[in-house]
């Protein structure tokens, strides 16, 4: 059942986010990718498989690990201005892994991880430039959406297969691995250019505020509220935060 859940949830989410990005552009696409599209389901599975305390501690790792995702976005946005999409992806993934290794040397608690992530979001969002781009009217090839789904699904299966041997903190730190970020950044970079990719990545960083709210709730309340109520509340708050940023983004684009 867990494998079936992994196989179904990933292509459904990436398909919906891809179609939303084509409708509303890279910036909004980035906000959606900033949601816990893979780490949220992983957290839910961990709570069922290994217990509430394990998943709550992993949520702390999720918060600290999203700092690595912000670094990925920053490095890719800079590398893409001079490098091909493959080189940019390899450089940014390396930056993610090095940051994760550094973070794993510390024993993280909920609120220090929360403050660290908020600081990283604020700094990285300011460092990634926002470009004014004409609306993209190109038609993507037919293989585009299936390729994104297959690529992301393979990443999810490979990552989650080894989660049970990593322990809660490292599992949480690795859960934000930029599965969707790599897929969307490289496809956007290849099809629309480096500036569109930078807009996407900046959106992911800002969208991390929704991610932050999700795992703050999970880390703080899971042991006390249980699985159902905690994850429902976390999802509602994350969607609300993402909706607020969509409204703000729409206002900025109109102005």
pLDDT digits (tens, 9 = 90+) for 116-153: 999 999 999 999 988 876 555 556 667 667 776 777 67
pLDDT > 90: percent of the chain: 44
pLDDT of res. 187 = 84
Compute the distance between CA of residue 225 and CA of residue 231 in angstroms, rounded to an integer: 9
pLDDT of res. 25 = 67
Other C-beta atoms lying within 10 Å of the C-beta of residue 100:
22
Q: What DSSP state is assigned to residue 193?
A: -
Please give the helix or strand (H or E) that residue 60 lies within, else none.
Answer: helix 52-79
Here the tokens at position 228 are 């159902």
Q: What DSSP state is assigned to residue 17?
A: H
Average of pLDDT values for 234-243?
A: 89
Compute the distance between CA of residue 7 and CA of residue 183 in angstroms, rounded to an integer: 17
Confidence of residue 30 (pLDDT cuts 50, 70, 90): low
pLDDT of res. 175 = 76
Residue 230 has pLDDT above 70, yes or no: yes
Compute the distance between CA of residue 176 and CA of residue 97 in angstroms, rounded to an integer: 11
| DSSP symbols for 73-142 | HHHHHHHTTTS-HHHHHHHHHHHHHHHHHHHTTS---HHHHHHHHHHHHHHHHHHS-----PPP-PPPPT
Most confident of 87-96, 141-150, 232-241: 87-96
Confidence of residue 216 (pLDDT cuts 50, 70, 90): very high
> Could you give the angle at which helices 26-33 and 2-24 cross, rounded to 10 degrees?
160
Most confident of 27-36, 181-190, 219-228: 219-228
Compute the distance between CA of residue 193 and CA of residue 189 in angstroms, rounded to an integer: 5
* CB neighbour list of residue 6: distance below 8 Å, 6 or more residues apart: 41, 153, 156, 157, 160
Confidence of residue 236 (pLDDT cuts 50, 70, 90): very high
Cβ burial 161-182 (10 Å sphere, 16+ → b, else e): eebeebbbbbbbbbbbbbbbbb
Going from the C-alpha of 225 to that of each of 110, 185, 197, the distances in angstroms are 17, 37, 39
In terms of Cβ atoms closer than 10 Å to its own Cβ (0-12, 13-18, 19+), residue 15 is middle
**Residue matched to tokens 């976005």:** 73
pLDDT > 70: percent of the chain: 81
pLDDT of res. 74 = 97
């Amino acid at each position: 059942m867990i494998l079936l859940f992994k196989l179904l949830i990933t292509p459904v989410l990436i398909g919906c986010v891809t179609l939303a990005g084509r409708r509303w552009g890279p910036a909004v696409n980035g906000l959606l990718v900033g949601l816990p599209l893979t780490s949220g389901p992983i957290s839910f599975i961990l709570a069922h498989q290994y217990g509430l305390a394990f998943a709550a501690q992993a949520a702390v790792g999720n918060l600290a690990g999203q700092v690595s995702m912000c670094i990925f976005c920053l490095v890719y946005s800079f590398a893409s201005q001079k490098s091909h999409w493959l080189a940019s992806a390899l450089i940014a993934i390396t930056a993610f892994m090095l940051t994760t290794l550094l973070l794993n040397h510390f024993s993280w608690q909920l609120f220090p991880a929360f403050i660290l992530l908020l600081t990283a979001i604020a700094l990285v969002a300011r460092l990634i430039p926002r470009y004014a781009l004409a609306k993209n009217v190109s038609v993507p090839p037919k293989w585009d959406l299936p390729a994104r789904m297959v690529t992301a699904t393979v990443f999810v299966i490979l990552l989650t297969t080894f989660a049970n041997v990593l322990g809660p903190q490292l599992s949480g730190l690795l859960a934000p691995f930029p599965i969707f970020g790599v897929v969307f950044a490289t496809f956007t970079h290849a099809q629309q250019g480096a500036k569109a990719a930078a807009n996407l990545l900046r959106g992911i960083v800002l969208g991390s505020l929704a991610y932050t709210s999700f795992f703050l709730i999970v880390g703080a309340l899971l042991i006390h509220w249980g699985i159902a109520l905690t994850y429902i509340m976390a999802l509602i708050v994350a969607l609300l935060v993402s909706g607020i940023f969509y409204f703000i983004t729409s206002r900025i684009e109109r102005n």
